[in-house]
Amino acid sequence: MIALRNVTKSYKTSTRPALDNVSVDIAKGEFVFVIGPSGSGKSTFMRLLLKDEKPTSGEVWVTDLRVDKLPARKVPKLRQRMGCVFQDFRLLQQKTVEQNVAFALEVIGKSGSFISRAVPEALDMVGLSGKADRLPSELSGGEQQRVALARAFVNRPLVLLADEPTGNLDPDTSQDIMTLLERINRTGTTVVMATHDNTIVDAMRRRVVELDRGRLVRDDETGVYGVGR
């Protein structure tokens, strides 16, 4: 589903690579944490998968698409297979909850009838049916992240990327988000989550890929954060 093969990413402005000869294979349906301290390369890892950045060397694969060689005209095809959520939610502030989710489908040309069916389903899944007409500013942080999850999942992507999705949330709210990510994963969606929240990683007992200064230092089937350090 996802593969990095000997991937190195060096940003022009920095001396050591942000990712240094990293190889990882992620199968369909897996739930994988990407962990490591700030600056270890987690965001770079995620951005390479989205083709927001290009590797300096190596291959990046998502499904049958070779991302690092993907021509610009095929990038929409890649992005349609992936949903993303971020620490800062990235909702459109002037649109309602429902409009935020619908817009993700409008921009990829889905029909009105599809949208009017899919959006309520997605909002129901994240428990926000009752708040469809609210603006993001009227919601708590946890609710905003649930909207972002509904938006990321409404098109049933093969892969969900979550970059520090609980970074701005308190522990209880973070747990709600993790429950939703597990539910999404159970539908068969591959979930890749970057985090440095060790409580969450320890509780979930999922595969852990650990980066340290750009190098892959650990890949455990059911890891616990920080073991061996």
* Rg, C-alpha atoms of the chain: 17
Closest separation in Å from C-beta 210 to ligand ADP: 11
131 binds ligand ADP, rule: CB under 6 A: no
Cα torsion angle, 167, 171, 172, 175, sign: positive
Least Å distance between CB 151 and ligand ADP? 6
Closest distance to ligand ADP from the beta carbon of 42 (Å) = 3
User: How far apart, in Å, are the Cα atoms of 9 and each of 74, 105, 133?
Assistant: 22, 32, 42
Question: Which residues does residue 8 pair with via DSSP β-bridges, in sequence order?
Answer: 57
Distance CA 147, CA 83 (A): 13
Phi and psi angles of residue 82, each rounded to the nearest 5 degrees, phi first: -130, 135
CB-wise, 108 or 227, nearer to ligand ADP? Answer: 108
Residues 137-166 that bind ligand ADP (CB under 6 A): 151-152
Cα-based distances in Å from 199 to 49, 210, 229: 26, 15, 16
Closest CA to 160 of 187, 191, 183: 191
Name the minimum Å distance from CB 87 to ligand ADP.
10
Question: Per rule CB under 6 A, is residue 40 in the interface with ligand ADP?
Answer: yes
Using CB under 6 A as the binding rule, whether residue 13 contacts ligand ADP is answered as yes
Quick one: which segment of 40-48, 62-70, 170-178, 185-193 binds ligand ADP (CB under 6 A)?
Answer: 40-48
**Any contact of residue 38 with ligand ADP (CB under 6 A)?**
yes
**Chain contacts with ligand ADP (rule: CB under 6 A):** 11, 13-14, 18, 36, 38-44, 50, 52, 83-84, 90, 92, 103-104, 107, 151-152
